[in-house]
Chain A
Amino acid sequence: MILRAGLIASLMLTLAAPAMAECARPEELAMVRGEHAFTQTRTLKGVARPLVSSGTLEAQADGVVWKVTKPIEIVTRIGPKGVTQSIDGGPEEAVGAAGANNPFFSETGLLDLLRGDLSKLDTRYQVARGTRAKPEGWKLALTPKSASVTPYITSIAIEGCMRVESVAVAQANGDMMRIDLKPGQTRAAQ
């Protein structure tokens, strides 16, 4: 659950687009709405092969729709009232305890990010900034500040230039999750 929280918080940066033509400062990314293609790679400790899924990520005014198309069809809706999930085109069902027992609302600032407010990022994470040589771009290394998150998430690495291109979450138990994003149809938020 905490892993999901950290990951989602980081991925919110993917909803941002550069304000300038060259590599933008991450803090200056403005929120955009639209669809992005993603590839998620989970490397679980003790599991022989990486678990790869792909689909699209859609930013909406009041939340995010995370659609996995391979290897299984999953639609996950993340909004202010919680999280719902539909599997194989089935009915939407609340995730967990009514989808509300979900710390990523409380501990990652998801709703702030959804509103395009990135100013509070450093209130939740220690942020280390760096540059990427090839291709040219920037890197952010996030370390959770909250004691309730640190037992689960060690660090989050975000890379990008004009936009967020990848997010990698390192879990305390040794599992890893990496999400690579490709541009889709985007539009700037009004």
Chain B
Amino acid sequence: MAGLAAAFGSGAMTNTIADIQAADVILITGSNTSENHPVISSIIKRAIKFKGAKLIVVDPRRIKMTDHADYWLRPNLGTDTAWINGLMHVIVKENLHDQTFIENRTEGFEDFKKSLEKYTPEFVEGITGIGAKKIVSAARLFGNAKVASIVYCMGITQHTSGTDNVKALANLSMLCGYLGVPGGGVNPLRGQNNVQGACDMGGLPNVYTAYQQVADPAVARKMEKAWKVKGLSTKVGLKVTEMIPKAHAGQLKGMYIVGENPLVSDADLNHVEESLKNLDFLVVQDIFLTETAKMADVVLPSLCFAEKDGTFSNTERRVQRIRKAVDGPEQAKEDWWIASQIGTRMGFPMEYGNSEAIFEEIRRVTPSYAGLTYGRIEQTGLHWPCPTEKHPGTPILHGQQFTRGKGLFHPLEWIPPAEQADNDYPLLLTTGRVLYQYHTGTMTMKSEGLNERAPESFVEISRADADKFGVKHDQMVTIASRRGEIQVKVKVSSMAVEGTVFIPFHFAKAAANRLTNAKLDPLSGIPEFKVCAVKIKDAA
């Protein structure tokens, strides 16, 4: 989200889910929408079928959405900034950009424009492998739209250049004036039910709720007053991807992990495992004894979403209720109750009657949530920012002006991924999810039906590569990177393109993240899950 925050001043979907249907061109990139956000994929497919919207898909795999697309652009892994710059080069050259919008609403255009000069379609073809003609056609389609929506996901962000990729998409949308209007915008799809809420609530090392900076002493004073506490730190804390190396180095002594399973979800798992072992004290709070929980000194059982009241904030910033439907395991507790108890026993009283009492405190310290109440969202959730109880919520951001005032163009250069294919590791690996499983599988793998559809890990490989490396469909093979190796079944598939293989990361037994590269984007701290070099070793 750092990329959008830099360009616009806030990092979230600019428009709503339903609003995508108002677009006449939709650009999907780095999102396997029909498997990871199926309901949104249907909205997009309806826009195509009934409203005549055109679809451009840019993805290294022949994902299902390409069946519905007017153009499928197939970039080499880790070349996103290059093709985005290529589209913009054509749009500027052919004068398809929105001069009025650029003058009134943005800054930094001239420097940015210069930075595009060298990204000719031919130059971009050399980097990305996308044909120059296709770049020109797609750029014309996008630039000539009345309004176009950009939809992206982790395929854009999980790169060492992830922040640049997002900024490039922000540039593209601003260039054409597709922001602040229905059917437009730059729309990151959130992969987990409450990622948006966890960010909004300050579950980040640099901000309190509503993205109030921890480094700002005025904010610290405000929070000290609200919480009746002294000495809040104004030092930005560690990101998860920084905590692990610090634990490895013995500088981080204790961890409190709630509802996360880094032992399957993080990059370079062998390193993560050693790091967590090195902790003096590890507490894990979860609904299952996950791989991570097995390592914990203390495990605390919590209630799941169906057993408690509260709110989630979805990918379109809509704050919605969750409600208790069943009683959970006898001794399991709400996560807020457990953390409050630890706090109270450490000498800082944290006592709340129920989730609504906590929400009322959230409203007092969170300007974008101040106007929300359980009563107002009883039937239909509202989009933040919602500053007062009279405010109707904000479905579309940046209507009159950007959160940061003017939208900022960033001149960007393409930077190659941290690892390239070579003689020792001749294939590139990219990772992701499949329709029938979810994240580390702790929930979906409890459903027999889902397991029947997606029972085990696999390596998706093109027919050409299968022949080249002498492997057959359904054969078990060992896939190795410089960091580790796993055994998986071969799936020869037309979704794969020669030179690139795909492995889903759900399966702990053959965890794709034993292979992935933990090299980080310098700004966002996101690891490069989407590109690393691998080889197929002899059949397992």
Are the chains A and B members of one assembly? no
Mark B residues whose CB is within 8 Å of A. none
